[in-house]
Structure 1
Amino acid sequence: MGALSIRNVRKSYGETHILKGIDLEIDKGEFLILVGPSGCGKSTLLSMIAGLDSPTSGTIHIGDRDVTHELPKNRDIAMVFQSYALYPNMNVAENIAFGLEMRKVPKPEREKAVARVAKMLQIEHLLARKPGALSGGQRQRVAMGRALARDPLLFLFDEPLSNLDAKLRVEMRAEIKLLHQRTRTTTVYVTHDQVEAMTLGDRIAVMKDGVVLQFGSPDDIYARPATVFVAEFIGSPAMNMVQAQAGAQGVVAQGVTLPTSAAQQAATKPGQKVIYGLRPEALNFADSGVAGEITMLEPTGPETYVSVQTAAGMLVVRSPGKVLYQVGDRVHLAWGTHDVHLFDAESQKRLAD
């Protein structure tokens, strides 16, 4: 049994089904990301792991204990909220120590724990300050410190970086990753940000409408998305998607034959409607290939996003550095069949590679 086992967990409010049979299992020390759009059920699932809500059916195990109906205080978890949830009348040291005090941990041990996490998070100089005198990033460190002081079996993070500005979000993301590398505490982290999911997680559960569409490593999910939704949700810029149809000689979109592998061709039937996916970085400018016209350039510094209108549809190219092309230039695009992601248009599921 893993460090966390979620088995056929469902949650309904009357006729409204929030979670529709979630099955997940992670090992000790792993970092699990629950990612998906607003309303997909990820925060509801986290609340059930924490004991703040109960499933309609199914079970939740932490280690070898069934905690489905246990109170939060009996689960040996520590949670970091989006809102930080600090006590404004307490200073930083008191906030960090509060959970330990409630568990009647002796004062010398509390002080030792506060000193340990303050050093780890580099907030020793803030221990006497109240939350109102702290920046957003400092408050987030204090909230993390309160969780770390517990040394729990499980860390739970509920969109902890969503209130921070872009620069601070990147810095705190790195802090969380470093903390996990140091502590190796099993962690469940909820986010709607696919960059956070890809950079932090050992494994990712991509959720939509109360179900897990795909569960795997970041590399697996990026390289072999199981559905059209996963393919479009993970990756920036989003995967190019072309509506097409399988023919006897290959996949055709608006009269343009698009390259496919032998396995992909064998997985389709003539006349079958398919969606032909290409990551923007898989496309290259070439002397021959699919012809098109550049309609937009988006330089970001290290790379440029180039929108090319082709007969098959609009394709976005992710090109390193600065490109020499201009809007209106005619170009040709080429790619390998190993870069093609093919999906059935009706089921939205991946076809053979």
Structure 2
Amino acid sequence: MGALSIRQVKKSYGSHHILKSVDLEIEKGEFIILVGPSGCGKSTLLSMIAGLDSPTSGNILLGDRDITYVAPKDRDIAMVFQSYALYPNMTVAQNIEFALEMRKVPKDERKVLVDKVSKMLQLDHLLDRKPGQLSGGQRQRVAMGRALARQPSLFLFDEPLSNLDAKLRVEMRAEIKLLHQRTKTTTVYVTHDQVEAMTLGDRIAVMRDGILQQFGTPDEIYSRPATKFVAEFIGSPAMNMIKAKRERNTLVANGVDLPLGPQLGAALAAHDGQELVYGLRPEALRFAPAGTGLAGKLTMIEPTGPESYAFVETAAGPLVIRVPGKVDGKVGDTVSLNWQPADVHLFDAKTEQRVNAAQPQLAVA
């Protein structure tokens, strides 16, 4: 049994289904990310784990204890909110120790915990200040400190970095990861930011419309996406998708034959007559010598410093290429592209399920 078990959890409001039978087994000490677009159900699921909402059906277990309908204060869970939720009239020290005081922890023990947490989060020089005197990043660390001081068996984070600027988000992301490495507390973290998901999570649960699309490590999610949605949602720029049809023993997109290796050929054999989607990550594409590969016209270049994004219009469809450094060319140039069949991701156009080398850990209702 895992540290946290979500078993066939559903949530409905009348005929509107928010969660559609979600199952997750989270191991002790894991850092789990719930990611997906707005309205996918990730925050609803987090609220039910915290006890702020109840499922329509299903069970939530913390260890071997069923907490589905247990009051939030009795769950041994600490939550960090997007809005920080600090008491403006209290100092940093008072905010951190407030929950301990409510739980009647002795004053001497409270002081030890506040000192320990404040040093860990570099707040020890701010203990006498009030939230209004702190920056956004400092307020977020206080909120984390308050949760940490409780020494819970489970941490919940609800998009804690969404109110911070880009630079501060990067810094706080690193602090959260270091905090988890120190404490090893089981953590569930909700975000819509795929960069946070990929950099923080031991495993990622990708959700869409109340359905768990895939649950796996960042590498599994990125390298072997179980559905077309996961492939497009995770990764920036998004995976290139080419609509294709099987004609005889090959795939054709707008009259262009798409390269197939032995593995892809085997996948095609089992999907005779079906429309497929041929996916390529931007970094899988390469510029090729003139006259070889797939021809196209360079329509736009986006330099980012360490790499550039090249946009190419081809007969098969528009493609984006990630290029290390600068692009050797200019807008309007005719270019050729190639790639390895091993880098191709095939999806059924109707079901959106992965066709080649199906991903284990697939969990689609």
Contact 1:158 1:191 in 2 (8 A): yes
Indicate the residue corresponding to 1:107 in structure 2.
107
Identity of aligned residues (%): 73
Tell me the number of residue pairs that the alignment of Structure 1 and Structure 2 aligns: 353
Contact 2:8 2:21 in 1 (8 A): yes
**Contact 2:54 2:68 survives alignment (8 Å):** yes
Q: 1:291 aligns with which of 283, 292, 295?
A: 295
Separation in structure 2 between the aligned mates of residue 9 and residue 226 of structure 1, nearest angstrom: 21
1:7 matched residue in structure 2 = 7
What is the one-letter code of the residue matched to 2:8?
N
Q: Aligned AA for 2:336?
A: H
2:350 matches 1:346: yes
The 8 Å contact of residues 284 and 317 in structure 1, kept in 2 or not, is answered as yes
1:282 to 2:277 alignment: no
- The alignment partner of 1:125 has SS state of coil
Gaps of 5+ in 2: 358-365
CA contact (8 A) 1:248 1:270 kept: no
Q: Which moved more, 1:207-216 or 1:247-256?
A: 247-256
Task: Look up the equivalent residue of 1:292 and give its one-letter code.
Answer: G
Distance in 2 of aligned mates of 1:299 and 1:167: 20
Q: Give the structure 2 partner of residue 124 of structure 1.
A: 124
> Is the 1:161–1:172 Cα contact (8 Å) retained in structure 2?
yes
Letter in 2 for 1:274: L
**Separation (CA, whole Å) in 2 of partners of 1:272 and 1:228:** 15
Range moving further from structure 2, 113-122 or 242-251 = 242-251
Q: 1:264: how far off?
A: 2.1
3-state SS of the aligned residue for 1:267? helix
1:249: how far off?
2.7
How far 1:259 sits from its partner (Å)? Answer: 1.1
8 Å contact kept, 2:19–2:211: yes
User: Residue 298 of structure 1 contacts residue 306 of structure 1 at CA under 8 Å; is this kept in 2?
Assistant: yes
Task: Give the C-alpha shift of residue 263 in structure 1.
Answer: 2.5
Contact 2:307 2:322 in 1 (8 A): yes
- CA shift, 1:352, in A, is 1.6
Cα displacement (A) at 1:270 = 4.3
Q: Distance in 1 between matches of 2:230 and 2:336?
A: 28
Secondary structure of the equivalent of 1:126? coil
Instruction: Return the TM-score normalized by structure 1.
Output: 0.99
In 1, distance between residues paired with 2:347 and 2:246? 11
Aligned counterparts of 1:291 and 1:352: Cα–Cα separation in 2: 26
CA contact (8 A) 2:264 2:341 kept: no
Give the AA of the match of 1:275. V
Deviation of 1:250 (Å) = 1.5
Q: Which amino acid aligns with 1:189?
A: Y
Counterpart CA distance in 1 for 2:259 and 2:180 is 43
Alignment pair present for 1:330 and 2:334: yes
Aligned position for 1:261: 261
Q: Partners of 1:184 and 1:35 in 2: how far apart?
A: 21
- The answer to whether the aligner puts 1:310 opposite 2:314 as a matched pair is yes
1:189 maps to which residue?
189
Alignment of 1:1-353 (within 5 A): 1-268=1-268, 269-287=271-289, 288-353=292-357
Where does structure 1 differ by over 4 angstroms across 4 or more consecutive aligned residues?
A: none
How far apart in 1 are the matches of 2:60 and 2:194? 26
TM-align CA RMSD: 0.8
Unmatched tracts of structure 1, length 5 or more: none
